[in-house]
A and B are shown apart, each in its own frame.
Chain A
Amino acid sequence: MKRALFQNRFLPFLLIAPQIAITMIFFYWPAIQALWQSFLLQDAFGLSTTFVWFENYKHLYESAEYYRTIGTTLFFSTIVSFTSLSIALLLAVQADKPLRASGIYRTLLIWPYAVAPAVAGVLWAFMFQPSFGILARGLRELGYDWNPLLNGNHAMTMVVAAAAWKQISYNFLFFLAGLAAIPRSLHEAAAIDGARPFRRFWTIVFPLLSPTTFFLIVVNIVYAFFDTFGIIDAMTGGGPAKATETMVYKVYFDGRLGGDLGGSAAQSVILMIIVIGLTAIQFKYVERKVTY
């Protein structure tokens, strides 16, 4: 690594101080707070606090409801990642072809990424709103009894659609860059070797995209786990009957609305461990193993 030279001994520290301060205040401090709180039990009025060791974790371990939330989260993130990745890949493969208006096409596809999750949630909630939403009305006209306010599966479909839609842009960009990195001559060689476009895609293009795909799978899982809070909050509030309650939403629900700070903190710590795990996987494999 190159050693930068500074005349003033304190300048380097001064320059990184804001970043350190932000990290400390917004990341480490809450993390330590959460860890500490997860060992505490508060009474319902917040008047007394007891140190209970792993009581909160034990409670989660024994709670069927928490397992159901884990199940919901895994289902939600798998479907969101898969849907978003497949649509993005399909669009990227199309955009990679020489098109007349490819610039406009690409720009339009990138826009959804700039939409805030809560805004995207409201937007989709409007479209799916049972009485006047455009998509809901369409479904009803097709004779389908659409009601995400009562039907858990409908609600899940709705949040999955919104969450996947928002992530398509990001995935699209990476897939497009990945496709551009595959030399044209490989396509040509495969064409001469008698591989039709469909077979060419699965035997040449898709395997060569695997480093990109792997990276995106990790990013998408992290996104579906954590960044979809705004969408769920705006669209369903975790309902109906907790059908769309993910782990992150439960942290908020139990802590803020349920007043169970200790239990909520314990859940946060579990989520923190998951993030650390996913990041470790990403660093370990994406940076090295799956490259050509």
Chain B
Amino acid sequence: MAEVKLRDVRKTYTGGIEAVKGVSFDVPDGALCVLVGPSGCGKSTLLRMIAGIETITSGEIRIGERIVNDIEPSERDIAMVFQNYALYPHMSVYDNMAYGLRNRGTPKAEIETRVREAAKMLEIEPYLKRRPRDLSGGQRQRVAMGRAIVRKPAVFLFDEPLSNLDAKLRGQMRVEIKKLQRSLDVTSVYVTHDQLEAMTLADILVVLNLGQIEQIGPPLELYSRPASMFVAGFIGAPAMNFIPVRADGDGLSAEGGGLSGARGFAVPKQGAVLGVRPEHLTLSGIEGGALFDLEVMVVEAVGAETFIYGKLPTGKEVIVRLYDNIPKVGGRITVSAAREHLHLFDSGSGRRI
């Protein structure tokens, strides 16, 4: 049981490349914190610094009450699940799980109990005598988790643990990780580039970009009030539509027309970027909302929902998610979005206005 606290953590590689540029956040006891961002954003480096397998250039990392900057990985009371599982190929599943306990001089009987217990929880009991190469991807994933669980660490670290699994299995394991984390109630830091994983797993979501934090908060808060265009575009699928806008007495307008309504927004003189999610656009007119006149370019029926790829007169693409009254390609539609679903961003900095 421990909190994880990062204070102005930096990582500069030899050669001067800054991978992490001053990151601070807290993970409360028992919470699952997800670090998400595109590749190269520094999320894995950050996790490896918490684990102790990457040195910290400056700043401070605390696990519980201790500053762990100069403490060996094995002494940090953490367990890590690697992307490629990092199972010891020459050891049986049992030995893989027991290895960490043996190194710490845990009594044999205790090891046996803990390994059996974890194996039962993860439903890998029948495979305890097998070698990792005789297991499927999903089973290996479970063994990797088992190896972390038996140690009963204060913190779990996950480095993109599901990215080597196929889509169906990934969904399944995602739910299991969530359940497991809840039932064990262990503070966890989870790294992923998959926004769906991030949204569904996180208690606290940390969006990283270019080695810096873009926004921290509960996932739904990031979804409904993104602090920047980067967060807005990263969270949610399909991604949020962005349209450059200006404002006058009649409300918002886009260059070349096609946009009206939504009076009373304070837009800087040089203009701003309007963000609106595909799922917030509807065919019914909403009082006081923004209206978009679109030419229908492509209709993509996914089954439960249909995505309409529309075009404003300027050629700017706008995606709309609809459930019925699906228009024909080449037709024109007017869709609207409620005021609370309109996001304005500074066109220079990309920050929320």
Contacts and interface: CB of A to CB of B under 8 A. Distances in A.
A292 B133 CA distance: 8
A204 B88 contact: yes
* Best-buried of B79, B83, B99 by chain A (most CB within 10 Å): B99
Nearest to B75: A194
Interface string B76-94: 0011101110101110000
Contacts of B52: 191-192
Contact of B78 (A186, A192, A195, A210): A192
Interface size class of A (residues with CB under 8 A): 10 to 19
23 contacts: A185-B83, A186-B88, A188-B53, A188-B73, A188-B80, A189-B86, A190-B88, A191-B52, A191-B53, A191-B73, A192-B53, A192-B73, A193-B74, A193-B100, A193-B103, A193-B151, A194-B103, A195-B74, A195-B99, A199-B103, A203-B99, A208-B90, A292-B89
A208 B151 CA distance: 24
A17 B74 CA distance: 62
Interface in A151-208: 183, 185-186, 188-195, 199, 203-204, 207-208
Given A204-B88, A208-B89, A292-B133, A185 B82 contact: yes
Interface string A29-56: 0000000000000000000000000000
B27 interface: no
A192 B74 contact: yes
Contacts of B99: 190, 193, 195, 203
Closest 5 CB pairs of A and B: A193-B100, A194-B74, A185-B86, A194-B103, A189-B86
B51 interface: yes
A183 B103 CA distance: 21
B100 A194 contact: yes
Contacts of A189: 80, 82, 86, 88, 147
Contacts of B89: 208, 292
A194 B104 contact: yes
Contacts of A192: 51-53, 73-74, 78-80, 100
Contacts of B74: 191-195
Contacts of A210: 90
Interface string B89-118: 110000000011001100000000000000
Contacts of A185: 82-84, 86
Nearest to B51: A192
Contacts of A186: 86, 88
Given A191-B74, A192-B78, 17 more contacts: A185-B82, A185-B83, A185-B86, A186-B86, A186-B88, A188-B73, A188-B86, A189-B86, A189-B147, A190-B99, A191-B52, A191-B73, A193-B147, A195-B74, A195-B99, A199-B103, A292-B89
A199 to B, nearest CB: 7
Contacts of A204: 88
Interface SS of chain A: helix, strand, loop or mixed? helix
Interface in A278-292: 292
* Best-buried of B52, B82, B104 by chain A (most CB within 10 Å): B82
A192 B151 CA distance: 11
Contacts of B82: 185, 188-189
A204 B72 CA distance: 19
Contacts of A199: 103
A8 B193 CA distance: 58
Contacts of A203: 99
A185 B147 CA distance: 14
A210 to B, nearest CB: 8
B61 to A, nearest CB: 15
A183 B99 CA distance: 18
A292 B78 CA distance: 28
A183 B104 contact: no
Contacts of B133: 292
Contacts of B80: 188-189, 192
Interface in A198-225: 199, 203-204, 207-208, 210
A192 B90 CA distance: 18
B220 to A, nearest CB: 33
Contact of B84 (A183, A194, A195): A183
Nearest to A207: B90
B2 to A, nearest CB: 16
Contacts of A195: 74, 99, 103
Nearest to B89: A292
Nearest to A98: B14
A193 B88 CA distance: 11
A18 B104 CA distance: 63
Contact of B86 (A183, A207, A208): A183
Interface in B144-169: 147, 151
Interface string B214-237: 000000000000000000000000
Contacts of A191: 52-53, 72-74
Interface string B47-63: 00001110000000000
A186 to B, nearest CB: 5
Interface string B252-286: 00000000000000000000000000000000000
A199 B133 CA distance: 23
Interface in A83-135: none
A191 B48 CA distance: 12
A185 B47 CA distance: 14
A185 B86 CA distance: 6
Contacts of B79: 192
A140 to B, nearest CB: 48
Nearest to B104: A194
A188 B48 CA distance: 10
A183 B82 CA distance: 12
Nearest to B48: A188
